[in-house]
Chain A
Amino acid sequence: MRKDAWWIQPLFVFSVFTAFVVYSTWAAFQGAFYWHENLLSPFYSPEIWGASEHALWQRTGTPGWWPGFLPYSPAFLILWAPVSFRLTCYYYRGAYYKAYWPGPPSCSVGVPREAYIGERKFPLIVQNLHRYALPFALLLLVFLTIDAWNSFRFDAAGGGKEFGLSVGSFVLTLNVVFLSAYTFGCHSLRHLVGGGMDVLSGRPVRRKAYECVSCLNARHMAFAWTSLLWVAFSDIYVRLCAMDVWTNVRFF
């Protein structure tokens, strides 16, 4: 039996994941305080159908096609994309198998059960379709980049927009940077851009793409955590600004 404090890591993963899932679920159900002036919470981006000025279709109330017995929030229309991407992510799989299943809770600690099917049969065989969540995660980055750009554009006194800088600009820009570093380091993307081939010499574009993705992939765990925590903080920041608890300080 290992004599070191092996339980710290799975306990940390369990605690942070659980806290994130609880908070993000609560935030998604709120359907309010998710934007403040030129800031939009990443949990609600893109706001496909909603009341804010950031919405692609700016409407109040619930879409007509939405089942009446279900509560509605703009977050429900998009959160499935990042959830499915992270849930099937190769890094997160290893981490949450250890923290929740646990199989095993940590290396050379022992598994508290005998039966094991791995990812060969349902339900975990579905994990093999991680690559199908990738395009949606990439598409979200486009919208989050637009949100970050909008966070630098403020209403001008004489009408129109003017360039400015606030704390929120930093928050949303860092959010898209961390999420991009995580998404572009995806193992499936690494395979698709070149890892699936044995010969990359003579294919300069593929080779460069493979090198770039591999570089980020080597730090996939770090970016997975950084982006997870920062996206939650971004929502908290926008939410507290919208609730007038915090003030989005503008530098110019």
Chain B
Amino acid sequence: MKSATFKVWRGDREAGDFQTYEVELEPGYVVLDAIHKIQAEQANDLACRWNCKAGKCGSCSAEINGSPRLMCMTRVEDVAGNGPITVEPMRTFPVIKDLVTDVSWNYEVKASIQKMTPREPDFEDGSWKMHQYDVERPQEFRKCIECFLCQNVCHVLRDHQMHGEFAGPRHFVFAAQAEMNPIDLTDRIPQLREELGIGYCNITKCCTKVCPESITITDNAIIPLKERVVDRSYDPLTKLVRRIFGRSDKG
């Protein structure tokens, strides 16, 4: 492949449109390379957020041919079909300029999630004894690079714009990381049900499909949290058993 046609969305919060660029390609080009080349040679004012170019910083999230992806991890040859390659900003968040969106809402939601309350330390130096087996489960969620592709693809946020009522997959992963921690004592089930709106998730698994870190978001974070909410809110038998035997999901 020697060249490819890119249709890049240009604009701001008020208005915008696709503009066409022809890019000479070099072997191994990813979409971010092409965007940088457009920036360098054809449109110096093209705005694009990026940092590591290695799929680890989560900055260059965009929609390539309509699918949410990291530009730095998408090879041009993989998305080049018959027509031009479209590159546009994430639709779930307000555009700042061109491919850059304002994702600050995510940090506000994250700050609102109940923090961990560690149990009493096991040793005098203030450390805990934890089995690696129990730690591995929440450790999967620490792989998140906060690219917010999962937030972008989730239809509850993307299409229904329920930002005030639904936290989104990234924050359920964050909540699960704390909720499943073996030394955590915080009860965040009521918050998950009410403020974070986990019941709005209807398990389309789109978040899992777009995750560049291959976190099993739906099966390992959201559904287990939904089941814990069911324990507490919807299942009369479990509620009764817990009341009689005083069982807790902690410990």
CB distance A108 to B67 under 8 Å? yes
The CA-CA distance from A118 to B229 in the complex, in Å, is 15
At the interface, yes or no: A116 with Cβ under 8 Å from chain B? yes
Are A103 and B227 in contact, with the CB atoms below 8 A? no
Whether the pair B133, A107 counts as a contact (CB closer than 8 A) is: no
Flag if B234 contacts A207 (CB, 8 Å).
no
Residues of A within 8 A of B37 (CB): none
| A201-226 interface code vs B (CB 8 A; 1 in, 0 out) | 11000010000000001101000000
Do B204 and A129 touch (CB < 8 A)? no
Contact B83 A111 (CB under 8 A): no
State whether the Cβ of A200 lies closer than 8 Å to any Cβ in chain B.
yes
Please tell me the number of chain B residues within 8 Å of chain A, measured between CB atoms: 53
CA distance A52 to B193 in the complex (A): 50
Asked if B134 and A198 sit within 8 Å, CB to CB, the answer is yes
> Across the interface, do B206 and A128 meet the contact criterion of CB distance under 8 Å?
no
Question: Contact check: which of A103, A117, A188, A191 meets B155 at CB < 8 Å?
Answer: A103
B202 at interface by CB-CB < 8 Å: yes
A131 with B200: CB separation less than 8 A: no
- With A187-B227, A196-B227, A201-B133 as contacts: A107 and B199 at CB distance below 8 Å: no
Q: In the complex the two chains form, is A199's CB within 8 Å of B227's CB?
A: no
The chain B residue sitting closest to A196, CB to CB, is B249
Q: Are B219 and A217 in contact (CB under 8 A)?
A: yes
Contact assessment for A110 and B234 in the assembled complex, using a CB-CB cutoff below 8 Å: no
Contact status B134-A199, CB under 8 Å: yes
Contact with A along B191-231 (1 / 0, CB 8 A): 00000010111111110011000001011000110111111
List the B side residues contacting A249 at CB < 8 Å: none
Total A-B residue pairs with C-beta atoms closer than 8 Å?
A: 131
Interface size, A (range): 35 or more
Contact assessment for A120 and B249 in the assembled complex, using a CB-CB cutoff below 8 Å: no
Could you say which residues of chain A place their CB within 8 Å of the CB of B227? 131, 187-188, 191, 195-196
Q: Does residue B246 face the partner (Cβ distance < 8 Å to A)?
A: no
Please encode chain A, from 119 to 144, with 1 for each CB lying within 8 Å of some chain B CB and 0 for all others: 11000110011011000000000000
Given A195-B224, A198-B182, A201-B133, the answer on whether A107 and B204 have CB atoms closer than 8 Å is yes
* Residues of chain A in range 82-113 having any CB-CB distance to chain B below 8 Å: 90-91, 93-94, 97-98, 103-104, 107-108, 110-111
Question: Once the chains bind, are A198 and B184 in contact (CB under 8 Å)?
Answer: yes
A156 at the interface (CB under 8 A from B): no
Is chain B's binding surface mostly helix, strand, loop or mixed? mixed
- Contact A118 B202, CB 8 Å, known A128-B234, A129-B235, A198-B181: yes
Chain A residues, CB < 8 A from B86: 3
B184 CB to closest chain A CB, in angstroms? 7
The answer to whether B131 has its CB under 8 Å from any CB of chain A is: yes
Nearest residue (CB) in A for B166 is A118
* Chain B residue with Cβ nearest A109: B66
- Interchain CA distance A201-B133 in the complex, whole Å: 7
The reply to whether B199 and A104 contact each other, CB–CB distance below 8 Å, is no
Whether the Cβ atoms of B199 and A118 lie closer than 8 Å is yes
CB-based contact B206/A120 at 8 Å: no
B65 A4 Cβ-Cβ under 8 A: yes
Contact indicator A131/B230 (Cβ below 8 Å): yes
B249–A187 CB distance below 8 A: no
Is A199 a contact of B251 with CB atoms below 8 Å?
yes
- Please encode chain B, from 226 to 251, with 1 for each CB lying within 8 Å of some chain A CB and 0 for all others: 11111101110000000000000111
A117–B229 Cα distance when bound, in Å, is: 17
- Complex partner residue of B204 from A97, A131, A196, A218, CB under 8 angstroms: A97
Name which of B23-31, B97-105, B156-164 contacts chain A. B156-164
> Across the interface, which residues of B come within 8 angstroms of A125, CB to CB?
199, 234
Complex interface: chain A residues within 8 A of B230 (CB): 128-129, 131
Contact (Cβ within 8 A) A129 B234? yes
B203 and A120 contact, CB distance less than 8 A: no
A104 touches B134 (CB 8 A): no
Residues of B with C-beta under 8 A to A107: 67, 153, 204, 206, 209-210
Contact of B224 among A4, A118, A191 (CB under 8 A): A191
Having A111-B155, A111-B160, A195-B224, one finds 13 other A-B pairs with CB under 8 Å, namely: A4-B66, A93-B203, A94-B202, A94-B204, A103-B155, A117-B200, A120-B197, A187-B227, A191-B231, A198-B180, A201-B133, A202-B131, A218-B219
Q: Give the B-binding residues of A (Cβ under 8 A).
A: 1-4, 90-91, 93-94, 97-98, 103-104, 107-108, 110-111, 114, 116-120, 124-125, 128-129, 131-132, 187-188, 190-191, 195-202, 207, 217-218, 220
The 10 closest A-B pairs by CB, nearest first: A201-B131, A2-B66, A118-B200, A107-B206, A120-B199, A191-B227, A94-B203, A111-B159, A128-B234, A3-B65
